[in-house]
Amino acid sequence: MLRLIERARSTVRGSANDIGWLKRAPEMPSVEDGTGRFTEILENIRHGLHKLPSSMVKTPKYCFLNILGNKKPCQKQRSSDSVFLCCLIAYFQQLSYLAGLFSNHGPLYFVSTKTSFSKMGLTCHIAKIHSESTLNITITNQASVEKNAKEIKDYIEEIYWGSGKRVLLLGHSKGGVDAAAALSMYWSDLKDKVTGLALAQSPYGGSPIASDILREGQLGDYVNLRKLMEILICKVLKGDMQAMEDLTYKRRKEFLQKHHLPKELPVVSFHTEASISPAVLATLSRVAHAELPMMAPLSDGQHARLPVVMPLGAAMAACAQLLLVRYKEQSDGLVARCDAEVPGSIVVRPKRKLDHAWMVYSSLRDDPSEADAAQVCEALLTLLVEVGQKKRHELSMKDE
């Protein structure tokens, strides 16, 4: 009976004592609000003022290194006004996108952003973190954060030595957690190769969803909830429990006690709140394309494509509603806003309601009057560059 009572208390308490622990930890540096400057940059971008490309392009050539490390030939830019991004951003930088948990189950992960940047003349590269063990990809999500950090470190060095240009990282969801781990664990090797890190909707402090599902000593143990989740993740999604365990508060606390991000590294954190209005229930997100080879090819010789959609907005709204009712915490559906603020970073807290999937999967009902995901990413990177310039100036002043 006592054990049952304790399990009931643990179940009811859940993650109430863990959410927002980063802000309460006295040893963690404070954050700085950069929402105002981000909003200004975003508004300029929407009016065609792209400060990032015009201030960064200084070289007539660039090289592209794809995800498997194959070096493509250098290509000449069309003019001095053209821009390039990911692998290259700027004359001395490259951008590598680090994708999040289960991103391999959505082939269009970050694709709309990549397409938009390509139209601007930016060469984009997406470094996905996969959960399948059968795919021949550099970074896998089936291992621990420490293992992924080592893979990312090697990946950054391979890109750097292939082009001689420093890397600017943008990590979404768990991609941001793994990228931060790589920089905190291997900073002595990467400090001359990495310019900055932007984390978008990343559970840096942990995730209440992962913690509540995997926490031991709950009533769910009687129905073997953990085993059911293991079957879902390992058998259905072809992933590994380790990836989700790394996002629990317990694991994040243990890791961050050992590894801290370097103070000289420019870091920007971005987090949002999901809408829980009834209209979200009808929102569908385009996650893939299905080719229809039986149909007549189009005029360009390609087969017709049918968009594959999923109600990601509805799922995120349901999770956000659950966290709001249970913990009184705002979230994007998977990550509580207070857990996405990296200590010592410049934090962007937009008022616009956006769920966890919005930045990487395009919706069929995107509002044209609002900024799209590509513009938000560009604004984040522009802000990150400004933060880096300011930080370098402060360090030089201290040296003097």
Domains and CATH numbers, the chain: 2-273+334-355+370-399 (3.40.50.1820)
User: Which residues, 6 or more positions from 249, have their beta carbon under 8 angstroms from its beta carbon?
Assistant: 15, 18, 19, 21, 205, 206, 207, 208, 211
Per-residue pLDDT tens over the stretch 257-271 = 999 999 999 999 999
With a cut of 50, say whether residue 3 has pLDDT above it: yes
Task: Calculate what percentage of the chain has a pLDDT beyond 70.
Answer: 58
Report how far residue 65's alpha carbon sits from residue 167's, in angstroms, rounded to the nearest whole number: 12
Instruction: Establish whether the linkage from the previous residue to 87 is cis, with ω within 30° of 0.
Output: yes
List pLDDT tens digits, range 165-193.
Answer: 788 888 888 888 989 999 999 999 999 98
Helix, strand or coil for residue 62?
strand
Statement: residue 220 has pLDDT above 80: no
206: region left, alpha or beta (phi > 0 left; psi from -120 to 50 alpha): left
Nearest to 199 by CA among 139, 141, 272: 272
- How many whole angstroms separate alpha carbon 175 and alpha carbon 178? 5
pLDDT bucket at 29, cuts 50 / 70 / 90: very high
Assess whether pLDDT exceeds 70 at residue 37: yes
**Nearest-angstrom CA–CA distance, 290 and 288:** 7
Give the Å distances, CA to CA, from 194 to 48, 72, 92, 107, 198: 28, 21, 10, 27, 12
The first and second tokens of residue 135, run together, are 């795919």
Most confident of 85-94, 197-206, 241-250: 197-206
The answer, yes or no, to whether residue 139 has pLDDT greater than 50, is no
pLDDT of residue 362: 61
Q: Do residues 125 and 65 make contact, with C-beta atoms less than 8 angstroms apart?
A: yes
Q: How confident is the model at residue 46 (pLDDT cuts 50, 70, 90)?
A: very high
The helix-helix angle for 145-163 and 174-185 (nearest 10°) equals 70
Find the mean pLDDT for residues 336-345: 97
Among 143-147, 195-199, 245-249, where is mean pLDDT lowest? 143-147
CB atoms within 10 A of CB 248: 23
110 compared with 160, residue with greater pLDDT:
160
pLDDT the model gives residue 297: 54
CA R_g for the chain: 21
Residue 18 banded pLDDT, cuts 50, 70, 90: very high
> What type of residue is 1?
M
253: confidence class by pLDDT, cuts 50, 70, 90: very high
Question: Which pLDDT band holds residue 142 (cuts at 50, 70, 90)?
Answer: very low
- Give long-range contacts, CB 8 A cutoff, 24+ apart: 5-11: 6/217, 7/217, 7/218, 7/219, 7/221, 7/222, 8/219, 10/215, 10/217, 10/218, 11/218, 11/219, 11/220
- Average pLDDT (47-54) is 74
